[in-house]
Amino acid sequence: MDGEMSGAHSGCMETFESRVRTEFAPKNTYLNTASTGLVPARTVAAMHTAVEAAAAGQPTDMFADVEASRASFARLTGVPAGRVAAGASVAVYSGLIAASLPEGAEVLTAEDDFSSVVNPFHIRTDLKVRSVPLERIAESVRPGTALVAVSAAQSADGRIADLPAIREAANAHGARTYIDVSQATGWLDFDADAYDYSASVAFKWLVCPRGVAFLVVPEDLGDLSPLFAGWVAGEHPWDACYGPVEELAHSARRFDESPALFSYAGARHSLALLEELGVDAVRAHDLALADRFRAGLHDLGHTPIPSPGSPIVSVPGLGHRQGELSDAGIELSDRAGNLRAAFHLYNTPADVDRLLDVLSASTARR
């Protein structure tokens, strides 16, 4: 029996690995998904076809690609497609939510969270923005807190917010929740239905081209006003091209930005790949690599910032190594003096070992 189970598991892994190898062939050791994900071959081909068709004067139906992308993201985050708006920027959606708050409303955020999440609330100087350490978000929700805005996983170091505790505390005090999942969708098991608002860019862990982002809103559309609504926000867009839009979309599409169509022509294929692979399988793959790296760092005498359950590993004091690692063909990031590695579906144990070998050799020379 054990042999049969082992064989079945091996077959599943071979399917995962073979699909990934078909789509990705990096020419370096790429460990920088927290900055930008690699784009799969199917996505590159689809964008190439779309650009060529447009150049020939026979553009493909890229608005259909937007709808396919919206539906795929909805499935990945567990909500109906009617609750998903399609755009290009988390900062725009943060601004939309900030604009919905009444004067004097208190917004609770995490210290040093990503600027696109928190800055729009600071721009509104009539709001009360309170920042606390990530680990204290839930306990810091209080009567009068109108909104809790936080990233599911921190960009700088991969730390994961205690989302269930934050949701429970917000519900207890009547606060709304806004979760940025830009560093989480694609590997984290995230149920968008459990929160009021959530937003994500797609060019990181969702391996889409830049220019794609999504916003999830409540079934009743929340307290948002479609401030930047253009013709695409109409219930019948092609009848809403001139003058005021007489009938806004009855769904979250009323919050759509005019889409970067070539990006969406590719995005639908990237998102389809993640659906085929399965988020659970991607997460298991990513976390195994991150844990391998953490163990290797320990052997080298380095202690990463604690980020259990995250594929992002940030190592204090090693950020200055980023340049030499890049010269060696290993791509990572320097964030606030920390060396940040991000492991995703196209990475392998050999990538981890190569990074550790270079770090070890550099340490020995010193």
Which pLDDT score is estimated for 336?
A: 83
Residue 319 and residue 237 share a domain:
no
Whether 91 has a pLDDT exceeding 50, the answer reads yes
φ, ψ of residue 213 in degrees (nearest 5): -150, 160
**What is the CATH number for 12?**
3.90.1150.10
Residue 283 and residue 206 share a domain:
no
Residue 270 and residue 324 share a domain:
no
Residue 289 and residue 218 share a domain:
no
Q: Does some domain include residue 252?
A: yes
Q: What distance in Å separates the CA atoms of residue 98 and residue 80, rounded to the nearest whole number?
A: 24
Q: What distance in Å separates the CA atoms of residue 313 and residue 340, rounded to the nearest whole number?
A: 6
Whether 139 has a pLDDT exceeding 50, the answer reads yes
**What is the CATH number for 72?**
3.40.640.10
Whether 8 has a pLDDT exceeding 50, the answer reads no
What is the average per-residue pLDDT within 123-151? 97
What is the tens place of the pLDDT at every residue in 259-299?
999 999 999 999 999 999 999 999 999 999 999 999 999 99
Q: What distance in Å separates the CA atoms of residue 156 and residue 179, rounded to the nearest whole number?
A: 16
Q: Does some domain include residue 99?
A: yes
Percent of the residues in the chain that have a pLDDT greater than 90, as a whole number: 93
Residue 81 banded pLDDT, cuts 50, 70, 90:
very high
Q: Does some domain include residue 2?
A: no
Number of domains in the chain: 2
Residue 7 banded pLDDT, cuts 50, 70, 90:
very low
Residue 111's identity, in one-letter code, is E
Of 131, 177, 137, 139, the closest CA to residue 160 belongs to 137
What DSSP line would sit under 38-93, residue for residue?
A: PPPHHHHHHHHHHHHHHHTT----HHHHHHHHHHHHHHHHTS-GGGEEEES-HHHH
Whether 87 has a pLDDT exceeding 50, the answer reads yes
Please answer whether residues 145 and 173 qualify as being in contact, where contact means their C-beta atoms are separated by less than 8 angstroms.
yes
What is the tens place of the pLDDT at every residue in 32-56?
999 999 999 999 999 999 999 999 9
Which pLDDT score is estimated for 363?
A: 55
Residue 186 and residue 79 share a domain:
yes
Please answer whether residues 112 and 156 qualify as being in contact, where contact means their C-beta atoms are separated by less than 8 angstroms.
yes
- The radius of gyration computed from the CA coordinates of the chain, to the nearest angstrom, equals 21
Please answer whether residues 116 and 91 qualify as being in contact, where contact means their C-beta atoms are separated by less than 8 angstroms.
yes
Residue 267 and residue 357 share a domain:
no
Which pLDDT score is estimated for 14?
A: 62
Residue 298 and residue 254 share a domain:
no
Task: Identify the domain boundary among 239, 261, 276.
Answer: 276
Residue 291 and residue 252 share a domain:
no
Residue 52 and residue 32 share a domain:
no
Q: What distance in Å separates the CA atoms of residue 71 and residue 83, rounded to the nearest whole number?
A: 10
Which pLDDT score is estimated for 233?
A: 94
Which pLDDT score is estimated for 361?
A: 84
Q: Does some domain include residue 268?
A: yes
Task: Identify the domain boundary among 236, 258, 276.
Answer: 276
Q: Does some domain include residue 1?
A: no
Residue 74 and residue 205 share a domain:
yes
What is the tens place of the pLDDT at every residue in 204-251?
999 999 999 999 999 999 899 999 999 999 999 999 999 999 999 999
Task: Identify the domain boundary among 259, 276, 293.
Answer: 276
Which pLDDT score is estimated for 96?
A: 97
Q: What distance in Å separates the CA atoms of residue 145 and residue 99, rounded to the nearest whole number?
A: 16
Q: Which domain holds residue 212?
A: 48-276
pTM: 0.93
Residue 160 and residue 35 share a domain:
no
Q: What is the mean pLDDT of the chain?
A: 94
What is the average per-residue pLDDT within 114-125? 97
Whether 129 has a pLDDT exceeding 90, the answer reads yes
Residue 306 and residue 248 share a domain:
no
Please answer whether residues 154 and 110 qualify as being in contact, where contact means their C-beta atoms are separated by less than 8 angstroms.
yes
